[in-house]
Amino acid sequence: MRTVRVGLIGLGTVGSGVVDILRRHRADFVTRAGVDIELTRFADRNEARFKELGLPAEACTTDAADVLGDPDVDVVIELIGGTGIARDVVLGALSAGKSVVTANKALMATHGREVMDAADTHGVDILFEAAVGGGIPIIGPLKHSLVSNEITAVYGIVNGTTNYMLTRMAEDGLDYDAALAEAQERGFAEADPTADVDGLDAAAKIAILSSIAFNSRVTFAQVPVEGIRSLSPEDISYAAEMGYTIKLIAIARRAEGGIDVRVHPTMIREEHPLAKVSGVYNAIYVVGDSVGETMFFGEGAGSLPAASAVVGDVIEVARHIQRGCLALVGCTCHEELAVRDLGELETEYYVRLLVRDEPGVLAAVASIFGEHGVSIASVIQKRALVAGAEIVYATHRASERAVREALAEIDSLAVVDVVESVIRVEEL
């Protein structure tokens, strides 16, 4: 058995988890998986981390290039994150003939093709299970066990921060600000929560999942995204009353003429398995033509769960190195499906309006919906407000474009104060 030598670049949360797992289990991996994996080089801009993690000084460097240039390093783990230096590091490692394991969702969602092509050119592996769903096996299953399927849809709760916040809002009536403050206090949200609450993190992940599920490259920039900032307790309680739960769902679905990909707060039936995924947990629901409906559930973030996936990938690469079969499964994007414009979407909608309490409001709104071919399934008029009323509409299946056009007109009616919220309703 040869020892597979690994250079670890980026010693933050996930990196320290990787060090921890290999310290505890290196000997186990020899018996359990037949591979001997040694972390031989470490790079981080922050020198203090070397000491914190108790790493041998001679193995540590602040310059990633030292790791890429080390001929003894077989595999590079990239945990820098982002699309700047990380891209150079990954491409550099691949050109040096080293396989790469990364947890970098932004890189894979933005430069996935470039990176996969480089791995292909150099005949090495690039694995990135940790980029989506933390420790949850999802990329492996899609590329292996489920490869026999034509995947028709992927629905993911892939951001633990927002799922925690939505759970607190739904179960305990917190508003957005209180939920965010609590998530930050408990370490589930960053000081700047933008990437999470605006759905950007989820968008990168669904870009990656769609690329694999549909064998057709989808990039981060192609994913329309809407976060949870404007969700109000009222919408959540109306949803509950109607039998729905609001989740931030990352959706990818085959549709006529291409695929629909998007991230937005979504009302789903409270009986659906995804509706029951609470707190910081993640889950990815995959529908295939043969397998039917499957779901993969677990911890979507955190040091050890993500490190679990990273080390799993490293073991896989080590097996390949040992057996001389690197690049066994490379890029699988062999098709060129169009990512449809969001306007082409057809689904159901929940719309909440604040209106003047005047006669003719319902008729005026109904007539505009009608003109745009948007058919109404139900209307709830419930709260009498100081200066008016609140009306909630649930539409039948309608086109996004038609709904948006209708709402623009409705918004401009003198009797309508504001279109307070529009939430897509999905029968998954």
Site string for a second copy, 90-129 (x = CB under 8 A): ---------------------------------------x
Q: Which is nearer to a second copy, 70 or 299 (CB)?
A: 299
Place of tokens 């001997």: 36
Task: Classify residue 296 by burial, with Cβ atoms within 10 Å: 0-12, 13-18, 19+.
Answer: middle
Buried/exposed code over 376-414 (b: 16+ C-beta within 10 A; e: otherwise):
beeeeeeeeeeebbbbbbbbeebbbebbebbbebbeebe
Query: Which residues 309-368 are close enough to bind a second copy by CB under 8 A?
Result: 309-316, 319-320, 323-325, 328-329, 332, 334-335
CA angle 347, 351, 357 (to 5 degrees): 155
Options 296, 337, 346, 354; binder of a second copy; rule CB under 8 A: 296
Options 3, 12, 13, 33; binder of a second copy; rule CB under 8 A: 33
Residue 148 engages a second copy in binding (rule: CB under 8 A)? yes
Site string for a second copy, 256-285 (x = CB under 8 A): -----------------x--x---------
Options 269, 297, 399, 420; binder of a second copy; rule CB under 8 A: 297
> Within 350-416, where are the H helices?
361-371, 400-411
Residue 146 engages a second copy in binding (rule: CB under 8 A)? yes
By CB under 8 A, the count of residues binding a second copy is 59
Task: Classify residue 80 by burial, with Cβ atoms within 10 Å: 0-12, 13-18, 19+.
Answer: buried
Question: How many CB atoms within 10 Å of residue 33?
Answer: 16
Place of tokens 């109904």: 366
Residue 304 engages a second copy in binding (rule: CB under 8 A)? yes
| Residues forming beta bridges with residue 412, ordered by sequence position | none
Options 59, 96, 147, 377; binder of a second copy; rule CB under 8 A: 147
Q: Which is nearer to a second copy, 272 or 372 (CB)?
A: 272
Query: Which residues 227-256 are close enough to bind a second copy by CB under 8 A?
Result: none
Residue 269: C-alpha distances to residues 87, 272, 275, 380 (Å): 40, 6, 7, 18
Residues annotated as part of the active site: 205
Retrieve residue 87's tokens.
Answer: 């891209």
Do the Cβ atoms of 103 and 14 come closer than 8 Å?
yes
Q: Shortest approach of a second copy to residue 279 CB, angstroms?
A: 11
Q: Which residues bind a second copy (CB under 8 A)?
A: 17, 21, 25, 28-29, 31-33, 129, 135-137, 140-141, 144-150, 215, 273, 276, 288-299, 302, 304-305, 307-316, 319-320, 323-325, 328-329, 332, 334-335
